[in-house]
Amino acid sequence: MRQAPAILALLALSGCVSAGPRAPAPSAAAVAPPPGWRTTLAQGGPIAAEWWNGFGDPALAALVARALANNPDVEIAAARVDEARAAEALARAQLSPQVGGTVPETQGQTLSPLGTPSRAFGAQPALTASFDLDLFGRLRLASRAARAQLLASEGARDTVRLAVAASAASGYITLRALDERLAIARQTLAARDDALRIARRRFETGYSSRLEYRQAQAEYQATAQLLPAAELAISRQENSLSVLTGDAPRAIARGLPLDRIGRPAIPAGLPADLLRRRPDLFQAEQTLVAADLTLDSQRAAFLPNLALTGNVGVVLSTALSNPVGVFSLGASVLAPIFDGGRLRAQEAAATARRDQAAFSYRRTALTALREVDDALAGVQRSGEQASALERQTAAASGALQNATNRYRAGYSSYLEQLDAQRNLLNAELTLVQARADRLTSNVALFQAMGGGWSPAEVSATGGAARAAPPVPRPAEP
């Protein structure tokens, strides 16, 4: 992932942002992501790329689906999309004529030719219409900016949904790792109990000193304290996942054990173009487009504006034998002459916002490159570490068996067995953490790539999906 020509081409934009003349921002068509990369479903539906199914754990998949359906942050992001959609409809409505109707009622008093006062009633219903010709595209640019802002809000929503899915998957993996740590602590405590029973019997028969018995007691209690700590961590992790799924604290359903959760195949070469699937990059692109269009609309405000108005109606009155039709047509031209520098200040502010969007776009692209490279390195290095720890655990288990046999036969002291027990416990706990890190690195890679990849996209670049090759085991001596 060291080479990323597509993203680096996008980053070239940042070199054009300066105090001098503005460089044109990419158009909406130029920055559109590949079709089908994002969902168009209603609020609460699953996103299109269900990458979490690649881990092969139904409980993990169900947890992610529930989080996407009920997470409050996802609902808030969806509501913001609805707000942006309404703003876009409002901006688009400014391009259409406005038609209204009025029915004012009037009444008055008149005098007859004979001087007899009389009262007359009347009304003048009318239709009014107004239309802004938008000669210089001010309203059209504002409508396009609102459309780009709507797309940016959809990208923000998908960013939240992708983060929620990754958090749910990583949280479930952490929970299964804590379960594994608790199981190891219980197994070790059972072994410590057996060792304590032997040490007590040897002390009571005078075969060993009180020191060995006290050491066995201390080691048993040191292991016993691991259980409540692990149970507390499990309870807190379950509560965290419950809040993530929009539920009150509850127990989380488990599926496969940690060592049986699958690792999705990773292509030998991932194309840099896949980074354009990232919703945060798409959001930054559309934010830049919206800022550039807003600046153009602000500049169009310096030019004259022509508006047409019309009015047609009838005059109805008891004083008239027949209704009288009336109409009016007119046009108004509004041009700024002196505004104390308001328009110039608004343009300067829009220019600054556009430059901020451009720099933010560049930062987002650089962050995407870093996150993908970090995730790829994490998948590789954590896998190597887990393989080495598996061999260390196997060796520590053999060493403990040998030390136990020697201790029971009276050929060595209890300290040898104690050291072997501690080494095995540390190796097992570290192995669990390494396995969890390897799986969470896979989750981070899917999140960094914007939600996974399709076989067609990988084959188009010559990459082949394959699992990481196993580290060869050394020959047994």
**Global pTM?**
0.77
For 394-433, the pLDDT digits (tens) are 999 999 889 888 877 778 777 888 888 889 999 999 999 9
Gap between the Cα atoms of 221 and 219, Å rounded: 5
Q: Is residue 398 part of a domain?
A: yes
Q: Is residue 412 part of a domain?
A: yes
Name the nearest CA neighbour of 376 among 461, 447, 278. Answer: 447
Joined together, the tokens standing for residue 351 give: 């220019």
Average pLDDT over residues 290-304: 78
Confidence of residue 458 (pLDDT cuts 50, 70, 90): low
Q: Provide the pLDDT for residue 29.
A: 35
For 440-451, the pLDDT digits (tens) are 999 998 888 888
For residue 376, the domain's CATH number is 1.20.1600.10
- In eight-state DSSP terms, residue 225 is T
Q: Is the pLDDT of residue 384 over 60?
A: yes
Q: Is residue 329 part of a domain?
A: no
Structural domains counted in the chain? 1
Q: Is residue 25 part of a domain?
A: yes
**Percentage of the chain exceeding pLDDT 70:** 70
**Structural domain harbouring 357:** 5-37+47-96+139-298+346-466
Helix (H, G, I), strand (E, B) or coil at 309: strand
Lowest-pLDDT range of 174-178, 327-331, 393-397: 327-331
Q: Is residue 320 part of a domain?
A: no
Q: Is residue 430 part of a domain?
A: yes
Full DSSP string of 92-104: HHTTS-EEEEE--
Q: Is residue 471 part of a domain?
A: no
Q: Provide the pLDDT for residue 476.
A: 39
Q: Which amino acid is at 193?
A: D
Q: What are the angstrom distances between the C-alpha of 384 and each of 22, 427, 430, 466? A: 49, 15, 13, 16
Q: Provide the pLDDT for residue 315.
A: 65
Q: Is residue 306 part of a domain?
A: no
